[in-house]
Structure 1
Amino acid sequence: MVPPGYRHRKNQDGQSPHELFTKKHATLVTEGEYWMTHTASQCMVVATLIATIVFAAAFALPGGYNQNTGIPFFRKEPPLIVFVISDAVSLVSSSTSVLIFLSILTSRYAENEFLESLPKKLVKGLAALFLSIVTMMVAFSASFFVLYNNNLGWVPITVTGLAAIPALKSSSFDSRLKHRK
């Protein structure tokens, strides 16, 4: 943090504030690169796994297909429509996050990229990954409504309640972090 009037001034050694900061904190770029690549790699693995699962689920619809016509048995049921849409959103958002994390991994990791470019990419990648997880859980819950809603209504309600726990836990974790600051 330097007042605007001092940004281009030089110290006794002829260094501007930016040059001095860069020299004194050279390890920050190396540490930041390590942390960013490690984080992006791990998130990319998770996003790839989600994309694989929801891709396979798109062709193995709950309830199956009519062998004679190839049309899904529950095609007109609202839970199946919710399943298909949430599965597609999960696939697209997880694929998007894979591409974003790949762009982070192939970045130059120049000092100026840590100011805006890399943090924005990381936030966008994490947001897409979070969306894919949420919509995957919606698809998971919807599949139980397709299969068990008529006979055992308590089963899909219980499964949906259990599927909501990770989202509730993550939001309570975020609120605890905010209180620490």
Structure 2
Amino acid sequence: MSNCKKISLSQILLLVLDIILILGVITTVIVYYNTFFKGSGNLNGLNKFIMFALLTVGITCIFFIILELRKIVLTLIKGNPFVWLNVKALKRISLECFIIASCYIVNFIVNFGENKYKFIYLDSKGIHTDTEPIIFILAGVFIAILANVFKTAIEYKEENDFTI
């Protein structure tokens, strides 16, 4: 018999989320330093403050999303993902996606007319899109629907537990 502990996909996912969290903190420090302290370039005054605020809100939401995903994965590892904690976590993730999309939209409005936003464009490096707001809005809607699916599953489970 082998004494090797079987590693589940959920445990691997938890490890990946931990690595993303650590790399995210390191990357955040580097981005803030390079953007706002080392070479702020054409960012000045009010524009610099707005970009700092938008970046801070967006990055904070990303970290909250990762932490909520960790909570969900931990319930999956424990073997019972259909709990009210996960419904609340999914609703918070959905809200955070909408907040991030709002940050992108505000950024677009603040920089309107400066040719910084292009829906889709081509250059020598390939095809590029600035569709992040759409992606986060769709992710927020999908996750809100998933939260309702979890809610319904929990209600059915609780109803079934009461009838037995």
Q: TM-score, normalised to structure 2's length? A: 0.47
Greater share of strand residues, 1 or 2? 2
